[in-house]
Homo-oligomer: A and B are copies of this chain.
Amino acid sequence: MSSTQFTDFARYKEQRAALISSNLNRSLRPDHSVTVSAAEAKADKFVRELRAAISIWGTEHEGVPIPFPGMQFLTGRSIISTTKLFNFLIPKGGLLHAHLEATVNAEYVLKIALEQPALHVRSTAPHSALNLSKILPQFSPFPRKMFTDSDTALTDTFYSPDTWVSLKKARASFDPALGGPAGFDKWVIAAMVISPAEGQSIGPAINLFEEKFTDTFTVSNGLPRFTPVWKQYIYEFLRASVEDGVSYVETRINFYSKYMFGEDGQEKVPHHDWLKIFDETLGEFKAELKSQEREDEFIGARIIYSTLRLIDLEELEWYREDCITLKQELPHLIADSTSFRCFDLVGPENMLKPLIYYAEDLLRFRERQKEVGVDIPFILHAGETLGDGTEADVNLYDAILLGTLRFGHGFSLVKHPKLMKTCREKGILNEVCPISNEILRLTSSMPMHPLPILINNGLPVTLCSDDPAVFRNMGLTFDFYQISLRVLSRSEVTGLIALRELARDSLKHSTLEPSEKQRAISAWRKRWKKSVESIVDFTK
């Protein structure tokens, strides 16, 4: 197609329209040639106008001196929450990728932890204003008879490192010069989340940053691994998800620790009981919703059994058997849509073992499942990397060969033209975690995210929050907002209808049985319609 073929501009415009409609309108996209109601078209237009205005980004905000739409999530978060767009609650469908132990906000966890006299805290050195951000708290429950009566404050200069102090007392006795109880809260919470400054610093080596990320898990894990906290933690996760417009969750639980602490302060509660508590809590939550006639807002929760990619093959054998046993012992969890339907090995792919290391044993795991008559397919983390042909990137190939139902992340998939075709044909969905990708430095701001490449190539994707307790992107509204912000302010081709397809696809690609899936989608559709109407009402 050389310019010389155009004898007049009319011909050019004709060819241009044809070229653009065959390319730019992108027949592979999920929102191509789909039905759009008059109300949806109106709402879409309004939301686009709202985004184009972005007036909120042009003015100063407290603590955010120079805001701009593409700014880092952690820095812009407080502004986002005040925008009109943020406050249109659209139903998100399912949350398919969230690590349970990083799903509840740190303030809430600390609050419920403080109600537990069994919980103690220690630190590796006495505190001072200078080292406050460098010393991490460690938490543990104790049996009644081991409760310490020590009145030593963590901030006393004669505090002997690693001495356990009652959590409540440690808070009350925190040096007023360091903020007293509020200073204690600040210190604990800072250790469990990534701060805007930490998120924004682009200087430090990636490894230093990964250390901080790992630290947040080490610190926060100490609290929910205690059955009374665990129960409230799960309830709050479900409550907050539904509150945010999520109607179904598939959450990864990390079963790496073999036991958690029971009410008696003993570290003896096995995985079987973790799941029973999950099941009971889910039951109570659903009953509560039903009593409020809100049962359509929530279909249920399923569990993806996970352990860490740092285990060796002998350890994997233990987890494989554990997973099968749990599946056999708790068949009722299946009927109730609570099941570890799937299996995953998690952790930072760039640092831990590649899937090929586990591949032979994972195949054996599938054989063993057949022998005992259970079916626990894989949903594997793969391609959460900037690499190209590195082990973490090649995980994509092993995940496919191992029959993964979806990719956890799949971030590097865009570098593999042929594999993208395979995934499109097989319908393998990418669990895309936009805010996680930004904070963990896979993409430094939303407009740089490869999501449009996946969408324009017709690959199924859904938005996920990954570790919202660490990233402060509770629910899915923040991730939807970040994508809307990017998509609506930078893209002419993507709007509300694309978000609709992403939300619907989260249910379509869930592990729900066909009939449940149908129910989930039709309940979601009703809520979507209402949400569109409320946007249209707003424009009147």
Which A residues are within 8 Å of any B CB, using their own CB?
1-4, 6, 9, 12, 15-16, 19-20, 22-24, 26, 28, 57, 65-68, 70-72, 75, 200, 202-206, 208, 356, 359-360, 362-363, 366, 370, 377-378, 386-390, 394, 397-398, 400-403, 414-419, 422, 426, 442-445, 447-448, 450, 452-453, 456-457, 487, 490-494
Contact = CB atoms under 8 A, between A and B. Distances in A.
B3 A205 contact: no
A426 B402 CA distance: 38
B444 A445 contact: yes
Given A24-B389, A386-B490, A388-B487, 4 more contacts: A6-B363, A67-B205, A386-B447, A389-B494
A456 to B, nearest CB: 5
B388 A206 contact: no
A305 B471 CA distance: 50
B401 A15 contact: yes
B415 A452 contact: yes
Contact of A457 (B1, B66, B417): B417
A444 B362 CA distance: 38
Contact of A19 (B24, B397, B487, B491): B397
A419 B417 CA distance: 14
B453 A415 contact: yes
Given A4-B366, A20-B394, A453-B414, A401 B12 contact: yes
Contacts of A206: 68, 70
A531 to B, nearest CB: 24
A380 to B, nearest CB: 11
A360 B6 CA distance: 10
A387 B456 CA distance: 13
A366 B381 CA distance: 53
B203 A3 contact: no
A38 B111 CA distance: 66
B417 A1 contact: no
Given A363-B9, A386-B490, A453-B414, A401 B444 contact: no
B23 A401 contact: no
Smallest CB-CB A-B distances: 10 pairs: A3-B403, A389-B493, A444-B444, A389-B492, A388-B491, A68-B205, A386-B447, A9-B360, A2-B403, A23-B418
Given A65-B203, A205-B68, A388 B494 contact: yes
A72 B201 CA distance: 12
Given A3-B402, A366-B3, A416-B23, A386 B448 contact: yes
Nearest to A25: B389
B490 A388 contact: yes
Contacts of A398: 16
A202 B203 contact: no
A492 B401 contact: no
B24 A394 contact: yes
Nearest to A8: B363
A173 B444 CA distance: 45
Contacts of A68: 204-206
A245 to B, nearest CB: 25
Contact of A359 (B9, B203, B205): B9
Nearest to A391: B492
B490 A205 contact: no
Given A24-B389, A397-B23, A360 B416 contact: no
Contacts of A444: 202, 444-445, 448
Given A3-B366, A388-B452, A494-B388, A397 B24 contact: yes
A444 B417 CA distance: 23
Given A19-B400, A444-B445, A452-B415, A363 B12 contact: yes
Contact of A363 (B3, B67, B402, B493): B3
A26 B493 CA distance: 30
Q: Give the one of A2, A70, A204, A450 with max B CB within 10 A.
A: A2
A417 B491 contact: no
Q: Give the one of A377, A401, A403, A492 with max B CB within 10 A.
A: A401
Contact of A491 (B20, B22, B390, B490): B390
Contacts of A6: 363, 401
Contact of A401 (B1, B202, B490): B1
A57 B204 CA distance: 11
Contacts of A4: 366, 370, 403
A494 B389 CA distance: 8
Contact of A456 (B366, B417, B494): B417
Contacts of A387: 490-492
Contacts of A16: 356, 359, 397-398, 401
Contacts of A443: 448
Q: Give the one of A22, A206, A417 with max B CB within 10 A.
A: A417
Given A363-B6, A448-B448, A490-B388, A456 B24 contact: no
